[in-house]
């Protein structure tokens, strides 16, 4: 079974800047690796950590319009990546990228739920 919701990740143009905003808003702290400027997390508040991920060509969603709908992805912490992949696929997910097989040291894979929303299974 999935152990827990690991993080809610928000796409953005500047991961550290957005993380600093949410850290301040939520009373948390930014966890960022200077070697990985495209990813920052907000911890230290009650609830699931919030992550910010820089993406090339980011365009913010429009609300309430749907020309650029709101977007995010969920990261789930697992003990068995292969086993949880099989279970997710059986439930209707599709593989978007087996990142762990493409990039040495990566510990996650990317899927789409039945409605097309991306999520990641991350090896604990």
38-89 pLDDT, tens digit each: 999 999 999 899 999 999 999 888 877 888 887 778 899 999 999 999 999 9
Give me the sheet containing 118-123, strands edge to edge: 29-32, 39-43, 50-54, 4-12, 73-78, 118-123, 108-112, 94-97
The reported pLDDT for the residue numbered 29 is 97
Q: What whole-number distance in Å separates Cα of residue 18 and Cα of residue 111? A: 24
| Weakest mean pLDDT among 7-11, 23-27, 66-70, 93-97 | 66-70
Give the tokens for residue 18.
Answer: 């957005």
Q: Can you give the length of the chain in residues?
A: 124
């Amino acid at each position: 079974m999935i152990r827990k919701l690991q993080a809610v990740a928000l796409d953005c143009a500047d991961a550290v800047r957005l993380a600093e905003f949410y850290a301040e808003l939520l009373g948390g702290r930014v966890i960022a690796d200077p070697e990985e400027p495209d990813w920052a997390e907000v911890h230290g508040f009650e609830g699931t950590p919030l992550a910010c991920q820089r993406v090339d060509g980011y365009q913010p969603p429009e609300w309430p319009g749907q020309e650029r709908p709101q977007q995010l992805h969920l990261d789930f912490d697992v003990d068995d990546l292969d086993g949880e992949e099989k279970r997710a696929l059986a439930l209707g997910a599709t593989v978007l990228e087996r990142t762990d097989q493409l990039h040495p040291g990566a510990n996650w894979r990317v899927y789409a739920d039945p409605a097309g929303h991306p999520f990641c299974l991350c090896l604990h």
